[in-house]
Amino acid sequence: MSEDYCTIREAPTPPKADGPPYAECVLCRKPTEYPESYKGITLCPVCEWQEAQRTACSG
């Protein structure tokens, strides 16, 4: 069983919040789209996108 080097595995994402209070981003401290009650790493949309760019396969 071999996997390609660039295999993308979807990480579980927290549920989207219906409204405030929102959890803060662990990188920039801005509000995220996730509920404050979520326990785990939360990223705002900008940091989430930047992290995806950093971890994308560069071939």
pLDDT at residue 21, as a whole number = 86
| Exposed e or buried b per residue across 38-55, where buried means at least 16 C-beta atoms within 10 angstroms of its C-beta | eeeebbbeebbeeeeeee
Stretches where the chain sits below pLDDT 50 are 1
Give me 55's structure tokens.
């971890």
Helix (H) or strand (E) holding 53: helix 45-55
User: What pLDDT shows up at residue 30?
Assistant: 94
What pLDDT score was predicted for residue 10?
58
Q: What distances in angstroms separate CA 8 from CA 3, 27, 56, one per listed residue?
A: 10, 23, 9
- Report the first-to-last Cα separation within the chain, whole angstroms: 21
CB atoms within 10 A of CB 25: 19
pTM above 0.85, yes or no: no
